[in-house]
């Protein structure tokens, strides 16, 4: 009988996991990277295939060991920043003061989520790459509550978050489901953060309703962005107890405008009126124009819980079907609303203007007014166009002065960003029936110019006045110069359409204004305007007395909307303090308040966009299978965004559905380029597309390419 030869083992078990465990055990005994030869010799591995497996495993181990040693030896620079979780594969850490964001792979995030504050260390630099880092500590979690769709399968339940930058489902144990059913929209709180192979774990705090239901979807957006549902009852009670304060003593401290012609001009559906205009002819032929703003801070004292709530909210939020106010209704719609035929306390800027709308004198202070008339924009516009009706003479004259203010503003370099806005007509259940363009006419611009004048002159008064207020801490609204890199990219792109955008000094604003005039009514209008806006810096609140590039004002603030913006309340308090000869306030404290207000303003804008997107998807869900003309509004590595001309809703043609060629993304030219055909899809291209799918939960519209029009079409 022939004896069978024993098969020689080449070392550890032959499966990938077995080899990985053996290499890990070996690496645990050494503090330095090992070569393949060293590792295979110590493990007794001889066959070529297993050596190749070890080589793959070692490459990853050695890289991680090198990073650990790099950090241990203190060679990496530490930074504190916020996570921008781009996609499931990687994130960027945004560090204030660093020119470039730090790239971090998902596996190196230490389970940080989007907007978390983290400590990150730079890893050894690799030639030609952006700085790469590794999160070594989570300093602060930005949020622990998420909204999503309940998905129950057998004994297991998960919440799929609505928030696109949350890339993990949340496991919900059965005893923490709070009676949530499949396809419910729920608010969930994280009870255990992820670790190892474990997903984050949570509990359902509230069932918002069935997916697709208007109330459920809007409430999910409110919860997703951490916005308040309603005011606590004790604040509602506190607001209701506030009296109007119309005592003889208080009225005597104010300048009385009750006998001067005064009116408000607002949208038809407005409920709070926080600004009014007065007009009076002076003996010298000049005009006295009063810009009267609701005196919110007379009613909301700085040390009260109402002020604390307003400070926390920082702004009102305008969703498609509702407003989330900064102040309770007793204040916003009653005490502070400048309703007609009622005496109201205001904080005013009063200007003496000559015939050319040049300011000859100005006055700031607390006043009492009596509005003679409440106009809608449409009613005011009718008087401008026909010069007929009550107060037609006053409105027409104010419009003439406003037009002169506007001309002067643009002569000094203001940029004319007039983007087209739309709104939905909804039925009584919130279902969108129609998309309606918002038309801006002279009546809108009349109000805007006088609000800009008031904001500008208050800021300049504080900054420029010698002695009493100069150099004192104040709240400014600033807008930095455009990012040169973004502006250059925009200039190169505009050039492809035959437009020149100059890159230096005051020529930038004049050049952009010329471009905006030239593209009006052309197919590329929306695309170029959108890109021009994206190339600009973001406006923000700060105590630094810097200028506003977009408006071409050396100093600017927000004074005119204290019912809906907390920075305006801060401005009112500071202005009165300095008018009274008070000392400067703590700069650091107010800078923190400015930063918070800027962040809340961004959050509100994101929530507003989310509600619009939801209604767009809901509106287009009734048009599946229909064809529309559209313009390419965005180009990415995963497809092209198309804005439908008729409905102004935006959807995507996925790159995987472009089957006539293999397309590469060319980010420098904002295009997809076919490898074989040379065909390209660029911003501004006109396409014929079909609506093939809508997804309420993801707020997406999927489109299919029907036809690509020739460029001259």
In contact, 631 and 642? CB cutoff 8 Å: yes
Strands 255-256 and 359-370: parallel
SS3 of residue 628 by DSSP: strand
Give the C-alpha distances (Å, rounded to integers) separating 444 from 279, 281, 398: 18, 23, 12
> In terms of pLDDT, which residue wins out, 5 or 588?
588
86 contact partners, CB below 8 Å, separation of at least 6? 92, 165
**Local confidence band at 610 (pLDDT 50, 70, 90 cut-offs):** very high
The pair of structure tokens assigned to 525 is 């209008």
User: Domain 624-708 falls in which CATH fold?
Assistant: OB fold (Dihydrolipoamide Acetyltransferase, E2P) (2.40.50)
Q: Tokens representing 17? A: 């996991």
User: CA angle, corner 399, sides to 396 and 404, nearest 5?
Assistant: 135
The crossing angle, in degrees rounded to 10, of helices 16-28 and 48-72 is 40
User: Position of tokens 């503003």?
Assistant: 409
Residue 4's pLDDT is 42
5 pLDDT band, cuts 50/70/90, is very low
**Whole-number pLDDT of residue 240:** 95
- Give residues with Cβ within 8 angstroms of 198, minimum separation 6: 171, 192
Tell me, what's the pLDDT at 712? 56
Q: Rounded to an integer, what distance in angstroms lies between the CA atom of residue 107 and that of residue 90?
A: 8
pLDDT at position 150? 95
- Name the residue ranges covered by the structural domains of the chain: 16-72, 78-140, 145-211, 228-480+537-602, 624-708
For tokens 């330095």, name the residue.
Answer: 32
- H/E stretch holding 286 reads none
Can you say whether residue 393 is alpha, beta or left, with left for phi > 0 and alpha for psi between -120 and 50 degrees?
A: alpha
3-state helix, strand, coil in the chain (%, to 5): 35, 30, 40
How confident is the prediction for the chain on average, in pLDDT?
88
Burial state string for 300-312 with b = 16 or more CB within 10 A and e = fewer than 16 = beeeeebbebbbe
Q: pLDDT grade, residue 2 (50/70/90)?
A: very low
Nearest-angstrom CA–CA distance, 73 and 68: 9
- Provide the token pair at 322: 């509702």
End-to-end CA distance of the chain: give it in Å, rounded: 88
Domain spanning 78-140: CATH 2.40.50.690: yes
Confidence of residue 29 (pLDDT cuts 50, 70, 90): low
Say how far apart CA 78 and CA 80 lie, in whole Å: 7
Range 132-151 burial, b when 16+ CB lie within 10 A, else e: bbbbeebeeeebeebbbbbe
pLDDT at 7: 43
CATH: 1.10.10.10, 2.40.50.700, 3.40.50.970, 2.60.120.10. Which one for 145-211? Answer: 2.40.50.700
DSSP 20-55: HHHHHHHHHT-SS---HHHHHHHHT--SHHHHHHHH
Joined tokens for residue 199: 């997903």
The whole-number pLDDT of residue 100 equals: 84
pLDDT tens-place string over residues 359-412: 999 999 999 999 999 999 999 999 999 999 999 999 999 999 999 999 999 988
| Nearest CA-CA partner of 503 in 516, 490, 493, 514 | 490
* Fold equal for 145-211 and 624-708: yes
Mean pLDDT of 150-177: 91
pLDDT at 711 (0 to 100): 65
Residue 10: the pLDDT is 46
Indicate the helix (H) or strand (E) that contains 137: strand 133-140
Q: What is the pLDDT of residue 58?
A: 73
Helix residue ranges, H only, 160-203: none
CA distance 331 to 239: 7
- pLDDT for residue 3: 44
In this prediction, residues 664-686 reach a mean pLDDT of 88
Listed in sequence order, the residues at least 6 apart from 650 whose beta carbon sits closer than 8 Å to its beta carbon are 616, 633, 634, 641, 642, 643, 644, 701
Q: Is residue 636's pLDDT more than 80?
A: yes
Nearby residues of 585 by Cβ (< 8 Å), 6 or more positions away: 472, 473, 574, 577
């Amino acid at each position: 009988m022939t004896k069978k030869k024993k098969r020689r083992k080449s070392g550890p078990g032959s499966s990938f996991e077995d080899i990985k465990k053996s290499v890990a055990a070996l690496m645990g005994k050494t503090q330095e990277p090992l070569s393949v030869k060293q590792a295979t010799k110590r493990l007794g591995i001889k066959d070529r295939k297993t050596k190749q497996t070890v080589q793959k495993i070692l490459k990853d181990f050695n890289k991680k060991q090198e990073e650990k040693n790099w950090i241990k030896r203190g060679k990496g620079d530490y930074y504190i920043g916020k996570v921008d979780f781009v996609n499931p594969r990687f994130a960027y850490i945004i560090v204030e003061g660093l020119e470039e964001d730090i790239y971090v792979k998902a596996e190196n995030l230490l389970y940080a989520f989007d907007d978390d504050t983290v400590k990150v260390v730079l890893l050894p630099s690799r030639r030609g790459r952006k700085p790469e880092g590794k999160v070594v500590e989570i300093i602060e979690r930005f949020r622990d509550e998420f909204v999503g769709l309940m998905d129950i399968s057998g004994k297991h339940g998960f919440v799929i978050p609505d928030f696109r930058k949350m890339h993990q489902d949340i496991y919900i144990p059965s005893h923490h489901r709070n009676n949530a059913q499949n396809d419910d929209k729920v608010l969930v709180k994280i009870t255990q953060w992820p670790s190892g192979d474990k997903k984050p774990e949570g509990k359902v705090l509230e069932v918002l309703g069935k997916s697709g239901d208007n109330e459920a979807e809007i409430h999910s957006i409110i919860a997703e962005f951490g916005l308040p549902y309603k005011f606590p009852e004790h604040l509602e009670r506190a607001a209701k107890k506030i009296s109007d304060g119309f005592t003889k003593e208080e009225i005597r401290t104010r300048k009385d405008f009750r006998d001067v012609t005064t009116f408000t001009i607002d949208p038809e559906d407005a409920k709070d009126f926080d600004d009014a205009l007065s007009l009076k002819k002076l003996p010298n032929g000049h005009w006295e124009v009063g810009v009267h703003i609701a005196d919110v801070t007379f009613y909301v004292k700085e040390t009260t819980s109402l002020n604390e709530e307003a400070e926390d909210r920082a702004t009102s939020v305008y969703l498609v079907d509702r407003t989330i106010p900064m102040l309770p209704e007793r204040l916003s719609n009653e005490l502070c609303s400048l309703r007609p035929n009622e005496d109201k306390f205001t904080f005013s800027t009063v200007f003496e203007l000559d015939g050319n709308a040049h300011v000859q004198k100005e006055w700031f202070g607390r006043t009492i007014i009596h509005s003679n008339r409440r106009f809608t924009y449409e009613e005011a516009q009718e008087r401008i166009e026909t010069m007929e009706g009550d107060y037609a003479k006053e409105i027409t004259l104010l419009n003439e002065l406003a037009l002169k203010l506007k001309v002067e503003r643009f002569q000094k370099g203001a940029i004319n960003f007039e983007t087209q806005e739309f709104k939905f007509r909804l039925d009584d259940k919130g279902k969108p029936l129609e998309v309606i363009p918002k038309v801006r006419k002279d009546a809108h611009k009349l109000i805007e110019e006088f609000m800009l004048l008031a904001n500008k002159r208050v800021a300049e008064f504080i900054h420029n006045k010698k002695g009493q207020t100069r150099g004192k801490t104040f709240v400014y609204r600033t807008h930095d110069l455009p990012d040169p890199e973004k502006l250059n990219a925009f200039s190169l792109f505009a050039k492809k359409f035959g437009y020149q955008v100059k890159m230096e000094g005051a020529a930038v604003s004049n050049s952009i204004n010329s471009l905006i005039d030239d593209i009006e009514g052309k197919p590329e209008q929306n695309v170029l305007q959108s890109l021009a806006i994206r190339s600009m810096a973001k406006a923000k609140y700060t105590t630094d007395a810097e200028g506003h590039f977009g408006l071409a004002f050396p100093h600017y603030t927000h004074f005119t909307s204290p019912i809906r913006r907390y920075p305006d309340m801060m401005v009112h308090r500071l202005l009165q303090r300095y008018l009274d000869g008070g000392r400067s306030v703590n700069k650091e404290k107010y800078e923190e308040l400015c930063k918070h207000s800027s962040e809340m303003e961004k959050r509100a804008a994101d929530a507003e966009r989310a509600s619009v997107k939801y209604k767009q998807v809901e509106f287009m869900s009734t048009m599946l299978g229909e064809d529309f003309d559209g313009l390419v509004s965005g180009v990415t590595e995963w497809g092209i965004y198309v804005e439908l001309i008729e409905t102004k809703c935006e959807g995507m043609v996925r790159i995987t559905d472009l089957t006539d060629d293999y397309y590469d993304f060319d980010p420098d030219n904002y295009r997809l380029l076919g490898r074989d055909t040379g065909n390209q899809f660029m911003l501004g291209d006109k396409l014929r597309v079909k609506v093939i799918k809508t997804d309420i939960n993801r707020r997406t519209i999927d489109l299919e390419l029907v036809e690509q029009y020739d460029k001259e079409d």
